[in-house]
Structures are given as C-alpha cells and as structure tokens.
Amino acid sequence: MKFGTVAIIGRPNVGKSTLLNRLLEQKIAIVSDKPQTTRTRILGVVHVPGGQIALLDTPGLHKPQHLLNRRMVRTAVDTLEEADILYVLMDTTSLPGPGDLLVIDHVKGAVRKRLRPVILVLNKVDLVNKLKLLPVMEAYARLFGWTDVVPVSAETGDNVDRLLSVTVAHLSEGDAVYDADTVTDQSMRTLAAEMIREKILHQTYAEVPYSVAVEIDEFVEEGKLARISATVLVERESHKAIVIGKHGERLKEVGTDARRDMEQIFGMKVFLQLWVKVREAWREDEHALTELGY
C-alpha cells in the first residue's frame, strides 16, 4: 500500500480548487472567478490501485490585507511545509509575475526545511495557442528545479491522468489513512455554507464577495429531507442591500441555486432559509474568524 499527502499551492485564481474537483471526479470545493475564493484547507482523497493520495487544496498565496487573509496565507504555508509532495500551480495564460515569484519563495523555504518532490503543474493550457505555449512553459520551468513538469487543463481534464501517474510514482509505502469510501473530511454543514457563499460570489462584485461569510444556524435531517437555516454575514449595510437585491431577488436566486447544488451532492431534498446580517469588521475579529472556521 502506498500513501502520500499532496499540497496544491499557487497564487490566487490559478485553478487549484478546479484541479482538486477534477482529480476527485466530483465537486467538493467551491470555485469562482474571484481571487481568494478558497479560505481554508480542503481535503480530497483519491483512491488509486494500491494506494491513496490525500490532496490538500489551499488558499492562494498573496500579500494579506486583513486578519482573515493572514490566516489564509498561514494555512497555505503550513500545508505546503507539512505535505509529502507539492503541486505548484501556474497559469499558462500569462508569463510569470510577482505573485508567482512569491509562491516560489515559499516553495524554496519549505524545500530547504525538508526535501520532497515538487511538481510544476502548468494549468489552463486549453486557453493558450500551442505556438505561444512553449515559451511560456519554458519561462515557468526556469523558475525552480522541478521534480516533474506536467501541463494540464483542470477545466477540461486534459492530461490530469498523467499528473496522477506522476504523483503515484512519488508515493511512499504506508498504510491507508482513510476508509475506502472517504472523499473528504468536510461536514455537510461546511459544504452547505460554502455552496451558499459560492453563489454569492457569482452574484456580487467589487468588495462585497470578499466581505461575505456564511454561518449555518440549523441543519436538521428528517429522513430524506434536510432543513437548513443560514445567515449571510456582511460588513456594511450597503453590502447587505446588494446581497439581498431589489425586492429580495438576488438572495432568492442565491438560495435557489445553492439548494439545487445541495440536493445533488447530499442526495436528499433541501429546505433552505437565508438571512443577511451586518457584522462590522468581522474579517479583523479573532473570535468571529474562529467561530466561522477560519
């Protein structure tokens, strides 16, 4: 039996959560076009013949502005320092920039402490003209002494089988850590909160998506029905108005879309109630962040 933990790291918005979902062949991590969508470490377990891969999705590495962001970066750094294998995701639609160099600095620091395989995962190759792709790949390849370089498209699934094969070759002998049917350690409450937040990210703009959190007030299973009550937290009254929308239409749409996803993932009917509440400066509040799981 072989086992290994793999940290998926990179700057914000390079496709880390999309890759996690693709490798698992099911959605456990929310995705959006907004940077810093992922706020916590997310475990996804891939079961391969004779082994297990524990994938650890992480918040994007960036220069933090709030206590929330500092905690997010700390989570990412801790994860990359603890993992057996590193996936370093880079976006091939652009040449390396300051954000990528920041990631490389963190990788170098981790490898100095403990040598381990570092795999460069060049994502979004489906969006780049093949003639332009090679010089971009070469530019990223020169940044570090990578163990392997694997171009993929997390969106389409192109070449992710190759990434899995490369990863399996680096696993160490060891007992299985998770049951054969384990996919993630996230609770249904956590998944519900994240699905609601994802729909808000899709519906809002400017500062609003970054100042939103979701608390599950009640989660009761009654046979094939789940009754869920949740509060959406924002930092300003103006943000509250945006989330609710004219005549409550935006919040209603968020609830409808989130409920649909929950029913698909949970395999049961869902009755969902949503409220919106202002909690000023919650992103700088130690107690609030801990309560919210950040």
Residues 6+ apart with CB under 8 A from 171: 2, 3, 4, 51, 53, 84, 85
Task: List, in order of start, the domains of the chain with CATH numbers.
Answer: 2-173 (3.40.50.300), 188-291 (3.30.300.20)
Please give the single-letter amino acid code of residue 77.
V
Identify the bridge partners of residue 274 per DSSP, sorted by sequence position. Answer: 230
**Helical residues (DSSP H) of the chain, grouped into ranges:** 16-24, 67-82, 98-113, 130-141, 160-169, 188-203, 237-244, 249-266, 286-291
Per-residue pLDDT of the chain (294 residues; tens, 9 = 90+): 999 999 999 999 999 999 999 999 999 999 999 999 999 999 999 999 999 999 999 999 999 999 999 999 999 999 999 999 999 999 999 999 999 999 999 999 999 999 999 999 999 999 999 899 999 999 999 999 999 999 999 999 999 999 999 999 999 999 989 999 999 999 999 999 999 999 999 999 999 999 999 999 999 999 999 999 999 999 999 999 999 999 999 999 999 999 999 999 999 999 999 999 999 999 999 999 999 999
**For residues 174 and 1, is the Cβ–Cβ distance under 8 A?**
yes
Backbone φ and ψ for 212, nearest 5 degrees, come out as: -105, 135
Q: Roughly what angle, to the nearest 10 degrees, separates helices 16-24 and 160-169? A: 80
Question: How do beta strands 269-278 and 118-123 pair?
Answer: unpaired
> How far apart, in whole angstroms, are the C-alpha atoms of residue 98 and residue 92?
15
Which candidate, 11, 69, 22, places its Cα nearest to that of 44? 22
Backbone conformation region of residue 173, classed left if phi is above 0, alpha if psi is from -120 to 50, else beta:
beta
What's the CA angle centered on 160, arms 156 and 162, to 5 degrees? 145
* Contact (CB, 8 A) for 55 and 186: no
The number of beta carbons lying within 10 Å of the beta carbon of residue 31 is 20
The rounded distance, in Å, linking the Cα atoms of 7 and 86 is 5
Residue 58 CA to residue 53 CA, distance in Å, equals 16
Give residue 138's pLDDT: 96
Tell me, what's the pLDDT at 112? Answer: 95
For tokens 């989130």, what's the residue? Answer: 258
Backbone phi, psi, residue 133, to 5°: -70, -40
Measured at the alpha carbon of residue 206, what is the angle toward residues 204 and 208, in degrees to the nearest 5?
55
Q: What is the pTM of this model?
A: 0.96
